[in-house]
Structure 1
Amino acid sequence: MTSELLDAVIVGAGFGGIGAAIQLKRMGYQDFVILDREDDLGGTWHVNRYPGLAVDVPTTTYSYYFEPNPNWSRLYSTGDEIKQYAADVADKYDVRKHMRFNTLVEGACWDEETEVWRVTLAGGEALSARYLITATGFLSQPNTPEIPGIESFAGRIIHTTAWDNTYDLDGRRVAVIGTGATAVQLIPELAKKAADLTVYQRTPVWVVPRLDFPIPKPIKRLFSRVPLTQRALRAVTDVIYEFFLFVGLRHRQLLFRRLNVAASDVAKMHRFFSVRDRELRMQLTPDYDFGCKRPTFSNSYYRVFTKPNVHLQSSGIEHIEPDGVVSADGTKTQIDTLVLATGFNLWEANIPAIEIIGRKGRNLGKWWRDTRFQAYQGVTVPYFPNYLSMASPYAFLGLNFFNTVEYQMRHMDRLFGEMKRRGATTFEVTEDANARYLDRMTKLMGNSVFMAGNCADSRSYYFDPNGEATLLQPVATRRAIKEASQYPLSDYRIA
């Protein structure tokens, strides 16, 4: 037990936690700690190491705006490069020294008498801090499917978040469960090694071609010497991804609905030219609107199913036996390796990722599930003073996590700047401001593809357990960032 009072505790050493730490240092705070359960920084880019791992947003866009990297090897960089970028940024802004790894946070509780957060760690240690920031990300708690008999499987089971690079897949009989964004990257790589690969698909995905290429050395030198050129390219890629967002969101407007159909037509043509077998193509065709799930980009995913050693099984899984998988149609496939590309417990375990108790004993996770998932500007919550959640409802902005982080950093700058100006020590968003914001988000989301389109069968992680699409903030990135710098300070009680 420690009696030292820290300025802040940040939970999570991924890009969200690094961004929050940089912002704290900009505002003059030095006495804070960043806690992470893993043995190094990087968050999801440290945990995920599966074959084919790469960013699905151009790296000209997938980076902090204030810290462009002129050395990306290609337009869609690999996971190793993204992880190295995280390390480079942490070192440059001197935040690594604040990090404590292999540290599991069990929970945090607001002490109303002393007005500090008590953060409990595994092993009994406790920390006290004025401010609590959870930057645990949206993809931190892996999902292991509850399939009858899975515990009896005698072969090797590998989850994509715990990839074992020492395990030799050459000549193996492999089954992959899942066809989300991770699987779209992984499956073509597994097909190169496995003697036999069976993909168990619950929900088909929309896949569009990806324009990817190595970045020539002269271009890298230009980016390094004239950073404005890289920012100009980023402006272009930002606009393209913002366009994708609007195509998906503005579903009630006729123009965007037609553009949505056009986007799905691109995926249909991609599927047609990649897969000539009509029955197989039908199995790979989604029955929900483009945009209900995050758009997926690949030049090899559809084509891999035409290989003789790759098989698509879409009837569902009945159960698993020690030596194979039995499908709902009665077919049994013998395997020796089972790969789980089954994603994350987004709403069940990630939001929030730890138990957080606010004023009057309010449990954040329980309150969200008993009422509705909500957070003012995707950052703060009533009854939780001095608390910032960087992985909360309505937090995700654009199709780029860095937009989210930098938007939240601006929110912090305005809020903490006012705190310093007043000589205050506590803040809490008002219930009225939170209710108004929730009402506004609900109305905007009502015009989106999530509510106005056909998303019933998409099984999209955008939807919370109540059937509301509360992950994305349904506004333009530029507008959201402007609001983060101009929201009414009267929306907070500052004392």
Structure 2
Amino acid sequence: MAPRFEAVIVGAGFGGMGAAIQLKRLGIDDLVILDREDDLGGTWHINRYPGLAVDIASVTYSYSFEPNPHWSRLFAPGAELKAYAEHVADKYDLRRHMRFNVVVGGARWDDEAQQWEVRVENGETITARYLVTATGFLSQPKMPDIPGIETFAGKVVHTTDWDDSHDLTGCRAAIIGTGATAVQLVPKVAKKAAELTVYQRTPIWVAPKPDLRIPPPVRRLFARVPATQRLARVVSTSLLEMLMVVGVLRYRQARVTNRGAELLARAHLRRQVKDPVVRRKLTPGYSFGCKRPTFSNTYLSTFNSPHVHLETSPIARVEPDRIVTSDGGSAEIDTLLLATGFDLWDTNFPAIEIIGREGRNLGKWWRENRFQAYEGISVPRFPNLLSLNSPYSYSGLSYFTTIEAQMKHIDRLFGELRRRGATTFEVTDRANDDFLDAVTGRLGDSVFYVGDCSSARSYYFNQHGEAALLRPNSTLATHHQATHFPVTDYHYA
């Protein structure tokens, strides 16, 4: 039986839209994009919490082939990223392929029919020749496992499910978590709350944020002379590359660069926080880069305010009107805000159940063996699967570096499919093993294995203790490999 679609894409964020654009460029228009939310945009649709903004310069955090000259700031607010996603969907004619409020339960490869069967939770089964999973790295919220949290009588809000109707003015609030989301959220809540207690398990390195307004004359220049915005992108990308490649991935050879970034963050902390005791609590004990650092000019200084309290004692339990810590202390609250991040390694890789050839369950196989994916996109025993959010796929600090590299990989792979007159591809075991050996070997020089990451509690590390998220390459190397990988690394039929 012929499949209903040539391709099913799971996820209508920037990754899924990038894959759809590439497939349409290749002439594959018979595709459907499924998303569990009620609109497109992925992260930038789901998240609406106060202070939401991109933490990569906007000129870099966007498709290189679709520059946006209208960013209002160097680090655009979340609403502008959502508007940019809508613009891309309209320009590249993607909306007609999208179906929302569709929860995908799983997918199974039918070896006899040579197609994927995608199971939707309403009971529908959708068949397709190719399956693309673009569910995002940060799509499965992590809920804290704290005794008594279900008994709390006040308002509980996770940052991925923000309630705009809840007025924070005059409230007694608690925020659990001090990752990148909390860094943006804390200053905004502090402006409204009568009392705010921030519960920190692991401090985060915070660097100054050059968050400049982009004046209208510059925006007009970007629109009229696109080369000027391309130049700005090159400069921004180069700075990120230096931080990522030299300071993090080449830590063994360039500790001085990493140390320089750490000294910058320490100096920023000294300037921002007056109380030396609070300052010590906010100082990470792990090497810069073990956990994704962030940028802010307001987060650290918020702790100078008398109504803002930093709590580092572990939470013992939640009661109906308060949080109690292990040292016996407590804070009365009426609003509990959860900035507890996402669950990558237990529920996000993959975000849905995927069963390949010989009954191989992708999630189970990864957890029982090692997390791995050839070029961060293909896995043996999973024919015609393009897994965009996979181990060793994230290249650079901007997600768009990863997306565009994967688009190039798809272009080369499908070009070879057509040249051979084939319809099915599957990466070989040999190619997958060689790639895994290569990336893990290069990561041996990184801060993850040479630096001190013991106290970082970083989502870069999986349950096997491997830093299996980042691709240990420069952006240029990743994109070169995407266009030059040996086509013989795949079987074709």
Coarse TM-score class (shorter-chain normalised): over 0.9
What are the equivalent positions in structure 2 for 1:349-364 lying under 5 Å apart? 349-364=347-362
Give the distance between the partners of 2:27 and 2:97, measured in 1 at CA: 14
CA contact (8 A) 2:200 2:310 kept: yes
Give the distance between the partners of 2:214 and 2:330, measured in 1 at CA: 46
Q: Structure 1 residue 329: deviation in Å? A: 1.2
What are the equivalent positions in structure 2 for 1:22-171 lying under 5 Å apart? 22-171=21-170
* Equivalent residue for 2:399, pick from 379, 401, 414: 401
1:403-439 residue CA offsets vs partner (Å, 9 max, x unmatched): 0000000000000011011110100000000000000
- Look up the equivalent residue of 1:389 and give its one-letter code: S
1:188-232 residue CA offsets vs partner (Å, 9 max, x unmatched): 000000000000000000000000111111111111111111001
- Look up the equivalent residue of 1:170 and give its one-letter code: T
Q: Structure 1 residue 3: deviation in Å? A: 7.4
Give the distance between the partners of 1:269 and 1:184, measured in 2 at CA: 18
Give the distance between the partners of 1:152 and 1:364, measured in 2 at CA: 37
Give the distance between the partners of 1:259 and 1:223, measured in 2 at CA: 32
Aligned residue number for residue 5 of structure 2: 6
Aligned residue number for residue 267 of structure 2: 269
What are the equivalent positions in structure 2 for 1:199-278 lying under 5 Å apart? 199-246=198-245, 247-253=247-253, 256-278=254-276
Aligned residue number for residue 464 of structure 1: 462
Give the distance between the partners of 2:125 and 2:197, measured in 1 at CA: 47
3-state secondary structure, aligned to 1:109: strand
- Look up the equivalent residue of 2:475 and give its one-letter code: T
Give the distance between the partners of 1:386 and 1:223, measured in 2 at CA: 40
Aligned residue number for residue 313 of structure 2: 315
Give the distance between the partners of 2:237 and 2:260, measured in 1 at CA: 20
- Look up the equivalent residue of 1:164 and give its one-letter code: D
CA contact (8 A) 2:170 2:194 kept: yes
- Look up the equivalent residue of 1:251 and give its one-letter code: Y
What are the equivalent positions in structure 2 for 1:427-442 lying under 5 Å apart? 427-442=425-440
Give the distance between the partners of 1:374 and 1:446, measured in 2 at CA: 16
Aligned residue number for residue 382 of structure 2: 384
- Look up the equivalent residue of 2:259 and give its one-letter code: V
Give the distance between the partners of 2:221 and 2:102, measured in 1 at CA: 41
- Look up the equivalent residue of 2:30 and give its one-letter code: D
3-state secondary structure, aligned to 1:263: helix
Give the distance between the partners of 2:349 and 2:84, measured in 1 at CA: 26
3-state secondary structure, aligned to 2:309: strand
1:161-186 residue CA offsets vs partner (Å, 9 max, x unmatched): 00011110000000000000000000
Q: Which runs of 4+ in 1 moved over 3 A?
A: none
CA contact (8 A) 1:222 1:229 kept: yes
Give the distance between the partners of 1:294 and 1:288, measured in 2 at CA: 12
1:327-376 residue CA offsets vs partner (Å, 9 max, x unmatched): 11110100000000000111111110000000000000000000000000
User: Within the alignment, does 1:374 sit opposite 2:369 as a pair?
Assistant: no
User: For structure 1, which segment, 190-199 or 212-221, has the greater mean C-alpha deviation from structure 2 after superposition?
Assistant: 212-221
3-state secondary structure, aligned to 1:192: helix
Residues 291 and 208 (structure 1 numbering): CA distance in 2 closer, same or farther, change over 3 Å? same
Give the distance between the partners of 1:21 and 1:271, measured in 2 at CA: 43
Give the distance between the partners of 1:348 and 1:83, measured in 2 at CA: 28
Q: Structure 1 residue 276: deviation in Å? A: 2.0
Give the distance between the partners of 1:52 and 1:151, measured in 2 at CA: 27
3-state secondary structure, aligned to 1:142: coil
User: Within the alignment, does 1:173 sit opposite 2:192 as a pair?
Assistant: no
Aligned residue number for residue 289 of structure 2: 291
CA contact (8 A) 2:3 2:129 kept: no
1:442-467 residue CA offsets vs partner (Å, 9 max, x unmatched): 11111100011100110111111111
Aligned residue number for residue 18 of structure 1: 17
3-state secondary structure, aligned to 2:126: strand
- Look up the equivalent residue of 1:482 and give its one-letter code: H
CA contact (8 A) 1:11 1:34 kept: yes
Give the distance between the partners of 2:137 and 2:3, measured in 1 at CA: 30
Q: Structure 1 residue 294: deviation in Å? A: 1.0
Aligned residue number for residue 324 of structure 1: 322
Give the distance between the partners of 1:157 and 1:291, measured in 2 at CA: 31
- Look up the equivalent residue of 1:116 and give its one-letter code: Q
Aligned residue number for residue 455 of structure 1: 453
Aligned residue number for residue 488 of structure 2: 490
Q: How many residues align?
A: 492
CA contact (8 A) 1:3 1:127 kept: no
Q: Structure 1 residue 4: deviation in Å? A: 5.2
Output the TM-score relative to the length of structure 2.
Answer: 0.99
3-state secondary structure, aligned to 2:304: coil
Output the TM-score relative to the length of structure 1.
Answer: 0.99
- Look up the equivalent residue of 1:252 and give its one-letter code: R
- Look up the equivalent residue of 2:124 and give its one-letter code: E
Q: Structure 1 residue 5: deviation in Å? A: 2.1
Give the distance between the partners of 1:392 and 1:31, measured in 2 at CA: 25
Alignment RMSD (CA, Å) = 0.8
- Look up the equivalent residue of 1:262 and give its one-letter code: G
- Look up the equivalent residue of 2:73 and give its one-letter code: R
Q: Structure 1 residue 301: deviation in Å? A: 0.8
* Equivalent residue for 2:477, pick from 476, 479, 488: 479
CA contact (8 A) 1:141 1:353 kept: yes
Give the distance between the partners of 2:356 and 2:402, measured in 1 at CA: 24
- Look up the equivalent residue of 2:55 and give its one-letter code: D
- Look up the equivalent residue of 1:140 and give its one-letter code: S
Structure 1: segments with no counterpart, 5+ residues: none
Q: Structure 1 residue 494: deviation in Å? A: 1.1
CA contact (8 A) 2:3 2:115 kept: no
Structure 2: segments with no counterpart, 5+ residues: none
Q: Structure 1 residue 292: deviation in Å? A: 0.4
CA contact (8 A) 1:108 1:119 kept: yes
